């Protein structure tokens, strides 16, 4: 058997490896774009298989595709969905800004697999043609952004939202369990008035719960698919009702409530729904960064730091220092968060690059959005399982730090005034005495008054 076969496209013949299902245009792209090692997001393969299947069913229903071609396309796409042909999609992200080569990669793989299934030679384009049948009623200009929306929606629903919800739930559980632990607050990295450890963690939980609301809104945005606009949004070469029928079939196949976009010109000229989604991912990343950094700081020690929290000892922390436990999950989550913030800039600039009727930064945008979704989801799952769920408070340490804090003097301000309270705190700090000793030495309160007023547990909310 020859190592190569000859396939043709509109520019002429191309030698394609004999054992590959892709065709001439994919092979040309491999030669023209040997750029980097970043493959197209794998979620795009699944999205395109669902899309091509839905389009074949819609075209057949309108009498624009024969039954044999429909059945072959559906079978080939089903195999792609099962992962049977993953190796047949070799193109990097860095191709045409429209993604045309990847669309044609899918068209060629489906068509060639259909030829195999029908007992015809690869490259024969019989009984299914990559352009005339697999790509019928479509242009890359509408089906690539459709696949982008689908890939994002599938990943959000399967991975991201469940990960955010689970991490928020774990934080909320800690907030409830630790609401009786009064600790010293800190502002400007300096001692401040008390709060409970539960209150502190309730803030973290609420941050993620707020992001869930924002993500659900962004998710709704990407459920609107621009399929049916073809080249410039007008729908040329489609039949009436194609978009509605194809999108309904995609929704049924995927289990998600996809719908046609309200205005295809807006969706093809710009990709605002994905820019909005990327912004939500950046906002989530910012909160995750803050939460991970706070926990890392509160756990620093165990003897020379704050050490209010005790990290689970999952792994050796150092190759030279025995017994060290490092906040590795915090570090992984913060690195992922920073990457997502950088990805958002690339996605935003890509979204701004819509020129007249088409955006030409599509692969860049979906690469960055999908990396953020995938990384944030995985990092949150790991953080919850390997850090949050095993996190413990050091009650003795927390109580000791609380008792030594000078900012408990804040409770005295309403009784003796800000200036005298400040004098007590400064005197205690200079002399190394306790607040109580300083207050009694200066004669601003009696012992009974101090004990009645300065009660940390009563300082974690409004005073009656």
How many whole angstroms separate alpha carbon 148 and alpha carbon 29?
20
Q: Is 132 annotated as a binding residue?
A: yes
Residue with tokens 């193109």: 91
Give catalytic status of residue 318 as yes or no: yes
DSSP annotation string for 141-157: HHHHHHHHHHHHHHHII
Residue 140 counted as an annotated binding residue: yes
CA–CA distances in Å: residue 15 to residues 20, 33, 113, 345: 11, 17, 18, 39
Q: Is 67 annotated as a binding residue?
A: no
Read off φ and ψ for residue 459, nearest 5 degrees: -100, 5
> Per the annotation, does 135 bind a ligand?
no
Distance CA 272, CA 321 (A): 50
Contacts of 345 by beta carbon, 8 Å cutoff, 6+ apart: none
Question: Is 282 labelled as part of a ligand binding site?
Answer: no
Q: Establish how many alpha carbons lie within 13 A of residue 98's alpha carbon, considering only the half-sphere containing its beta carbon.
A: 17
Asked whether residue 139 is marked as a ligand-binding residue, the answer is: yes
Helix/strand/coil for 313:
coil
Taking each helix axis as running N to C, give the angle between helix 161-177 and helix 362-386, from 0 to 180 degrees, rounded to the nearest 10. Answer: 30
Please indicate if the annotation marks 10 as binding a ligand: no
The answer to whether 431 is annotated as binding is no
Number of H helices, E strands in the chain: 17, 10
Structure tokens at 212: 């869930």
Q: Is 188 among the residues known to form the active site? A: yes
Q: Which of 318, 372, 377, 405 is catalytic?
A: 318
Ligand-binding annotation for 348, yes or no, is: no
**Among 60, 188, 271, 372, which one carries the catalytic annotation?**
188
Ligand-binding site membership of 130 (annotated)? yes
| Three-state secondary structure call for residue 258 | coil
Whole-angstrom distance between the N-terminal and C-terminal Cα of the chain?
Answer: 90
Q: Is 105 annotated as a binding residue?
A: no
Annotated binding site for substrate: 98-100, 129-132, 139-141, 187, 319, 324-326
Which residues are annotated as catalytic? Answer: 188, 318
- Write out the binding residues: 98-100, 129-132, 139-141, 187, 319, 324-326
């Amino acid at each position: 058997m020859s190592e190569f076969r000859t396939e043709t496209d509109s520019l002429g013949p191309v030698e394609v490896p004999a054992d590959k299902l892709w065709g001439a245009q994919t092979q040309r792209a491999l030669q023209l774009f040997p750029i980097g090692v970043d493959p197209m997001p794998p979620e795009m393969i699944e999205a395109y298989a669902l899309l091509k299947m839905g389009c074949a069913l819609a075209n057949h229903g309108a009498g624009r595709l024969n039954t044999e071609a429909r059945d072959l396309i559906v079978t080939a796409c089903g195999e792609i969905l099962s992962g049977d042909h993953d190796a047949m999609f070799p193109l990097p992200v860095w191709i045409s800004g429209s993604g045309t080569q990847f669309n044609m990669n899918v068209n060629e793989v489906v068509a060639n697999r259909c030829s195999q299934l029908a007992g015809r030679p690869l490259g024969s384009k019989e009984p299914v043609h990559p352009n005339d049948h697999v790509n019928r009623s479509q242009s890359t200009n509408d089906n690539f952004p459709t696949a982008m929306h689908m890939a994002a929606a599938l990943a959000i629903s399967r991975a991201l939202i469940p990960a955010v919800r689970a991490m928020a739930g774990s934080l909320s559980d800690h907030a409830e369990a630790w609401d009786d632990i009064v600790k010293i607050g800190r502002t400007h990295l300096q001692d401040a008035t008390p709060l409970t450890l539960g209150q502190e963690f309730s803030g973290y939980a609420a941050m993620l719960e707020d992001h869930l609301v924002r993500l659900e809104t962004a998710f709704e945005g990407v459920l609107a698919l621009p399929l049916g606009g073809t080249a410039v949004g007008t729908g040329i070469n489609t039949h009436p009702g194609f978009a509605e029928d194809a999108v309904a079939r995609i929704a049924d196949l995927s289990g998600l409530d996809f719908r046609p976009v309200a205005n295809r010109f807006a969706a093809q000229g710009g990709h605002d729904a994905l820019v909005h989604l990327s912004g939500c991912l950046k906002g989530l990343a910012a909160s995750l960064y803050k939460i991970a950094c706070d926990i890392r700081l509160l756990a620093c020690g165990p003897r020379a730091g704050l050490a209010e929290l005790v990290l689970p000892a999952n792994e050796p922390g150092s190759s030279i220092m025995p017994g060290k436990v490092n906040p590795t999950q915090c570090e992984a989550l913060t690195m992922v968060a920073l990457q997502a913030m950088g990805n958002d800039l690339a996605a935003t600039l890509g979204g701004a690059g819509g020129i007249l009727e088409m955006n030409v930064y599509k692969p860049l945008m979906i690469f960055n959005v999908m990396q953020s979704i995938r990384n944030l989801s995985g990092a949150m799952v790991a953080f919850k399982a390997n850090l949050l769920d095993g996190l413990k408070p050091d009650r003795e340490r927390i109580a000791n730090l609380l008792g030594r804090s000078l900012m408990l003097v804040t409770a005295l301000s309403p009784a003796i005034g800000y200036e005298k309270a400040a004098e007590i705190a400064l005197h205690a700090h200079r002399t190394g005495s306790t607040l109580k000793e300083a207050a009694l030495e200066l004669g601003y309160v009696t012992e009974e008054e101090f004990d009645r007023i300065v009660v940390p547990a009563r300082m974690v909310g409004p005073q009656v």
